[in-house]
Amino acid sequence: MKVIPVPQTLEERTFDALVQALADAGAGRVLFDARRVRWVDPYGMVGLLAAGEVAAQGGDRPALQLPDSSEVLSYLSRMAFLDHADGIFELHGGGRRGRSGGASDVLLEITPIRSYDDIHVVVDRVNAHAITILTQQLQYPHREAFQFGAVLSEVCQNILEHAQAAGWVAAQTYSRTPRIERRVVKIGVVDLGIGFKGSLAASLAARHGERWSDVVALEAAFIHGLTRFHDPGRGQGLKQIRKQVGRWGGKVSIRSGTARIADVPEWDDVPPLQERLPFFPGAQIDIVLPARIGEEAADRSAVTRGRTPGRAV
């Protein structure tokens, strides 16, 4: 059995290391060693579930050594990670792993998205709580907080329309993160579908010829709002998410296949476009909504965000 070390901080920035380690492991049964994990966000959790699904495609059920940290383990339990992981991995360690009860600051525990009905359930469950958090903890105006449900709905809808496969979504509030020293909401959405290149190939591949690639497909969807659908108005979801999150001074990034594209705020330094990443199927979306720091600062952030991610199609 080959061992795949899970990064101590499991998030968007470290996900590529996990994917590379999985690719390097090759065929055969693997063990994901998460004993040293000390911090994980929604993207990291749903990404680990997806990595387990990919590892299982070879026919051997992967194993997962759970974190030694009781705090991290408790958090994974509250986020329903252990419930979903139990159906993918052979779990080891962690002592008692029952769901913790009582009050929780979880905004949305890990939830599978298999149909449009699932999206409605997610939005209905989250909306009231999210509006309270955005207005009281992150200082968003009510008119903007009400738009959170629309963003969440669009990002989940992307799973069904582009991926043609099921996926997972999760969201959580944090008082701070390793990248930003103020309260944030983080949303992670992952699927194992055909990816943006596969989704848009029928309508765009011939136009680009040999240039057709994961990065060109991401630019088409993220920047230009193009889609595999021919109906007027379809395909604007990701473009609108990018604009809305930008107005909020937040960050949105999408990884698909071997590329990642991001709209980067002033508080982050991730590259706006990355190519030649280790291949991973489907699409993985990371959204970060930070607390407002005053209208003047928000305006400065919007100006800073003027750089366009990627190249024009």
d(CA 40, CA 48) in angstroms, rounded, equals 10
69 within 8 A of 40, measured Cβ to Cβ: no
Cα 41 to Cα 186: distance, rounded to the nearest angstrom = 7
Which tokens sit at 22? 């999985």
6 touches 34 (CB < 8 A): yes
For the chain of 313 residues, list the mean pLDDT of each consecutive stretch of 10. Answer: 96 96 94 97 97 92 96 94 96 68 69 89 86 90 88 85 81 87 92 92 90 94 72 60 90 96 92 96 95 56 41 37
Q: Which of 143, 225, 150 is nearest to 187 (CA)?
A: 150
Total residues found in the chain within this entry: 313
The per-residue pLDDT for 227 is 65
Please, what are the domains in the chain? 1-94 (3.30.750.24), 105-313 (3.30.565.10)
149 Cβ neighbours under 8 A, 6+ residues apart: 123, 126, 127, 130
Residue 301 has a pLDDT of: 41
Contacts 24+ apart (CB under 8 A), 117-122: 118/156, 119/153, 119/156, 119/157, 119/160, 122/152, 122/153, 122/156, 122/169
Q: In whole angstroms, how large is the CA radius of gyration of the chain?
A: 19
pTM, 2 dp: 0.88
How high is the pLDDT of residue 55? 96
What one-character DSSP code corresponds to residue 210?
A: G
Question: Which H or E run contains 54?
Answer: helix 42-56
Residue whose entry in the numeric block shows the structure tokens 């199927």: 281
Reference 29, options 49, 54, 53, 2; nearest CA is 2
Pairing of strands 9-10, 39-40: parallel
Name the 3-class secondary structure at 47: helix
Helices marked H in the chain: 12-25, 42-56, 70-78, 81-85, 116-136, 142-145, 148-158, 195-200, 206-208, 214-222, 237-247, 295-304
The neighbouring-strand residues paired with 290 are 184
Per the CB < 8 A criterion, the answer to whether 282 and 165 are in contact is yes
Identify the sign of the CA torsion 287, 134, 179, 38.
Answer: negative
